[in-house]
């Protein structure tokens, strides 16, 4: 599988290293010359590093986006990420475009354009697994920087306050984004028009201080 990544920050660097280790081909586009030099030194030699603007078709072509299975935009600028993903989809027909969304309020824009949005307010470089339980809310991963967490909340099977409602309609706390649902044996990617069902297990990205508020918003308790 060929993955093309736009952006040369910690998220992109970590992703490139991981994908190469897992046997995939990776090309990375970065427009800052000093970061390109750093990446050439730090990344495995198998990673193709291109000095250029990922919002420019010329550099996407050089990176092989036309042959890519996945395009990932991971810069700290939502506008750049949106443009780069749209270019990869429209001009090169990439089957799957994924974007880092720095402002969770922009997530619905990416989803409406068929781009998989992953919201974050910090660069994820190190993660620690936790076993902490807060009622029926389980903290799966705590991000060492930024005081953010990925949590798991099981919706009740009776008197569910959010069931049969679309995610876009839910009054979620600030800095809380629903990422996926575990529904029986299936994993469902969450979009604005996704409807929650009784018994769904919700995977969410949230500020740690808003975990209890998120649980109350989804379960009513």
Confidence label for 132 from pLDDT (cuts 50, 70 and 90): very low
Span 102-117, pLDDT tens digits? 777 787 888 888 888 8
DSSP codes, 130-194: ---EETTEEEEEEETTTTEEEEEEEPPSSS-SSTTSBGGGS-PPTTEEEEEEEETTEEEE--TTP
For 185, counting Cβ atoms within 10 Å of its Cβ (0-12 exposed, 13-18 middle, 19+ buried), the class is: exposed
**What value does the mean pLDDT of the chain take?**
82
Q: What is the mean pLDDT of residues 142-149?
A: 55
Output 14 or 45, whichever has higher pLDDT: 45
Q: What is the pTM of this model?
A: 0.57
Q: Which of 40, 44, 10 is nearest to 26 (CA)?
A: 44
Q: What is the pLDDT of residue 147?
A: 64
Q: What tens digit of pLDDT does each residue of 114-129 get?
A: 888 876 533 332 322 3
Check residues 62 and 174 and name the one with the higher pLDDT: 62
How much of the chain, in percent, has pLDDT values that exceed 90? 33
Q: Per residue in 151-188, pLDDT tens?
A: 888 888 888 889 998 888 888 888 788 888 888 777 78
Asked whether the predicted pLDDT for residue 221 surpasses 90, the reply is no
Full set of structural domains in the chain with CATH: 2-119 (3.40.50.720), 127-219 (3.30.70.1450)
């Amino acid at each position: 599988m060929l993955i093309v990544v736009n952006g040369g920050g910690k998220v992109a660097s970590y992703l490139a290293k991981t994908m190469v280790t897992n046997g995939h081909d990776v090309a990375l586009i970065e427009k800052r010359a000093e970061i390109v030099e750093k990446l050439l030194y730090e990344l495995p030699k198998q990673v193709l590093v291109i000095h250029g603007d990922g919002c420019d078709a010329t550099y996407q072509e050089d990176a092989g986006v036309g042959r890519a299975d996945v395009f990932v935009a991971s810069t700290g600028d939502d506008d750049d990420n949106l443009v780069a993903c749209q270019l990869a989809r429209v001009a090169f027909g990439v089957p799957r475009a994924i974007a880092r969304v720095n402002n969770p309020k922009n997530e619905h824009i990416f989803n409406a354009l068929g781009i998989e949005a992953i919201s974050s307010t910090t660069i994820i470089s190190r993660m620690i697994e936790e076993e902490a339980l807060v009622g029926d809310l389980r903290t799966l991963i705590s991000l060492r920087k930024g005081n953010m967490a990925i949590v798991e909340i099981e919706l009740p099977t009776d008197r569910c306050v959010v069931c049969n409602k679309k995610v876009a309609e839910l009054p979620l706390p600030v800095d809380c984004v629903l990422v996926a649902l575990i529904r029986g044996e299936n994993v469902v990617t969450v979009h604005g028009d996704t409807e929650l069902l009784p018994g769904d297990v919700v995977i969410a990205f949230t500020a740690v201080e808003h975990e209890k508020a998120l649980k109350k918003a989804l379960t009513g308790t």
